[in-house]
Structure formats: structure tokens, C-alpha cells
Amino acid sequence: MADNKALQFFVHEALSRGQSRKAVEAALIEAGWSESDVSSALQDYAEIDFPVPVPRPRPSLTARDAFHYLVLFGSLYVAAFGLGELLYGLINSAFPDPAWNDTWDDRIATAIRWAIAKLVVASPIFLLMVRSNAKALVRYPAMRTSPVRRWLTYLTLAIVSGILIGDAITLLYRVLSGELTVRFGLKALALAAISGGIFFHYMRDLKRDEREGGA
């Protein structure tokens, strides 16, 4: 904590005396501070023309933020799992295993119905929360630094990264074992498409935060 206060004090004093951000950053990095610490300290102050450094709003944790982002990411997970189950069900229906008996038809139909129910309920909620969040970020850019938002974003990235890695490992194992079927290949492709879409969307979102000073 003391080190952070010293860093913040130095940045404030340097900017107050007219030093450029690049000069402050170079001096601190040369002194041994990490780039992430320096960047964070500089981003505490807005890049606007004013005689003294103008602080940005500090991120805070509120019950409203927690509710908003838990609903947003929770509906995302339900919708993503529902889409995956729907695609799996359709693939199983199109490419059934000859060893399956008649009861599998009922199981597949039941799985498809559950998947559709999840999508019909969760997808509109997710899209509504995304739209609400986009409008809020335009009005209050400081919300990009919400701790709940960043934690859930990184948690989501960690989950989908694990799924993508596991999917790739399983697919490669099937190929090496000579057990790759059309049904399994399509399922692996569907899983990769869903997880990859989520991963790249939120990675792009994080990069946008960094560009707009929200890191």
C-alpha cells in the first residue's frame, strides 16, 4: 500500500509540474516500476487540458453492479449451454449411432426441448442486459473499471479457454486413435465455435477498455 501511495504521489506531482505522460512513464520504468503499475497510476488521471491533474472516478463495488453483471453473465452461460445442447441434439439426430436403441430418440427429443427452452428464456435476457450495459457505459465510462465486470470477464475467459483446450486435446486424441467420426467432429466444431466466439468477443472488449483508459 505504501508503495502504491508513493507511486500515486509521484505521478500527481510530476503531472502537476507539466511533465508529459511519456516522460513520467519512462522515468518510473527506468526506476524499476512495472509497466502495469505505471499504466494504472497514470490512468488515475484524465488526459484533459487543465492546470492540475484531474482524477478519474475510482471503481467501486455496488450491489447494482453485482446484480447487473451476475444476471448478464449468468444468462450468457445458460444461453451458451442451451445452444450447445441444441446443436448436439441435432447432430445426434442427424448422425445416430447404430448401437443406440429406440429410447435414444426420446432422450434426444427431450434434450432438444430443454435446449430450446433455455435459449428462449436466457437469450432475450442476455441481449437486454448487453444493450443496457452498452448504454450505461456510454453515459458512465468509469463503469468499465467495475471490479465485478472485470472479474466475471476474466472468469469467463478462463472457462472458455479451458473448454477450447480440452476440446482440442480430445479431438487430437480421437484423430490419433483413429476413432474420429462425423458426429464427434461436428460436436467438437460446434463447441469450438461457441467457446471461441465468446472468447474473442470478450478479449476484444478488454482491449477496448484498455484503449479507452479502463484498464
Three-state DSSP class for residue 213: coil
Does one domain contain both 50 and 18?
yes
Which residues constitute the domain of residue 8? 2-55
Does one domain contain both 42 and 68?
no
Does one domain contain both 32 and 122?
no
Does one domain contain both 80 and 157?
yes
Query: Which percentage of the chain shows pLDDT scores above 90?
Result: 52
Interatomic CA distance for residues 117 and 82, integer angstroms: 8
Which of 10, 30, 55 is the C-terminal boundary of a domain? 55
| pLDDT score of 2 | 46
For residue range 110-148, list pLDDT tens digits in order.
999 999 999 999 999 999 999 998 888 887 776 777 788
The answer, as to whether pTM is greater than 0.95, is no
Number of other CB atoms surrounding residue 197 within 10 Å: 13
- Please check the confidence at residue 149 and state whether its pLDDT lies above 90: no
- Please check the confidence at residue 87 and state whether its pLDDT lies above 90: yes
Does one domain contain both 77 and 154?
yes
Distances (CA, A) of 203 to 160, 177, 209: 11, 34, 10
Does one domain contain both 20 and 109?
no
Which of 18, 39, 55 is the C-terminal boundary of a domain? 55
More confident residue, 188 or 209: 188
Does one domain contain both 39 and 72?
no
- Give the pLDDT mean for 208-214: 64
| CB-based contact 48:81 (threshold 8 Å) | no
Interatomic CA distance for residues 147 and 38, integer angstroms: 19
Does one domain contain both 146 and 67?
yes
| pLDDT score of 201 | 94
Does one domain contain both 86 and 7?
no
For residue range 20-74, list pLDDT tens digits in order.
999 999 999 999 998 888 887 888 888 888 888 888 776 666 788 889 899 999 9
Structural domain count, the chain: 2
Which of 55, 78, 95 is the C-terminal boundary of a domain? 55
- Cα 183 off chain centre by: 29
| CB-based contact 148:65 (threshold 8 Å) | yes
Does one domain contain both 33 and 71?
no
| pLDDT score of 82 | 96
Does one domain contain both 126 and 206?
yes
Three-state DSSP class for residue 53: coil
Cell representation of residue 68: 447487473
Interatomic CA distance for residues 136 and 106, integer angstroms: 45
Does one domain contain both 42 and 91?
no
